[in-house]
Amino acid sequence: MISPVLLTPATFAPFGRVLQPGLGAVKRIRDGAVRLSQNPDFLDRDADAVDLALDFYDVAPHGAQLDAVQAERHPHSAQLFVPLAEARYLVVVWPMHPDAHARAFVGGPGQAVIYKPGIWHHGIVAIERQTPFASLLWRTRTGNDTEFFALPKPVVIDLEGPVQ
């Protein structure tokens, strides 16, 4: 069983980026009343990915554990997930190929996550309650945006244990 770790920019760097207020180029605007955090060029893509897609996911929570049976990746584009409610969520990635060891991270309110192009990952997982997410990625016009891989055996992730 895999125990998730806390999602931070440092822990997730090999797989993508964590966006949150105060990271990136930060400046004050509107006479100092607003702190703006900008993240230019945050959604990498290759030349085949030409159509920007905004999708919404309404994700039901899992129970005490996740039994992951499938992985996916987007070879032509990074993928951004932004929770639209104050909730914790689970991010699962594979450093190489999904027949190897997985890594799991728990993100929280105020954090968005971006998977690098080609990173194998599980679908976004709500932990405590139904959670809506917005997602951005670039799509190709040939329909080869997403690849799926059936895991040889389920990857079990503890959703109730302490986050390290």
All residues at 6 or more sequence positions from 133 whose CB lies less than 8 Å from its CB, including other chains: 56, 57, 58, 59, 81, 82, 83, 84, 89, 124
107-151: pLDDT as tens digits? 999 999 999 999 999 999 999 999 999 999 999 999 899 999 999
In a domain, 164, yes or no: no
* Residue 70 belongs to a domain: yes
- With residue 11 as reference, give the H or E element that holds it: helix 9-12
Question: How confident is the model over 28-35, as a mean pLDDT?
Answer: 92
Reference 143, options 79, 48, 78; nearest CA is: 48
CATH of the domain at 109: 2.60.120.480
Domain that holds residue 148: 5-158
Quick check: is 163 in a domain?
Answer: no
Residue 162: its pLDDT value, please? 75
Work out the average pLDDT over 14-30: 91
Distances (CA, A) of 62 to 110, 116, 125, 159: 21, 25, 7, 8
> Tens of pLDDT along 81-111?
999 999 999 999 999 899 889 999 999 999 9
What is the DSSP pairing of strand 51-59 with strand 65-73?
unpaired
9: in domain: yes
Main-chain phi, psi angles of 125, to 5 degrees? -125, 125
Q: Is residue 34 part of a domain?
A: yes
Residue 147 pLDDT: 96
Q: Is the pLDDT of residue 23 over 70?
A: yes
State the pLDDT at residue 164. 67
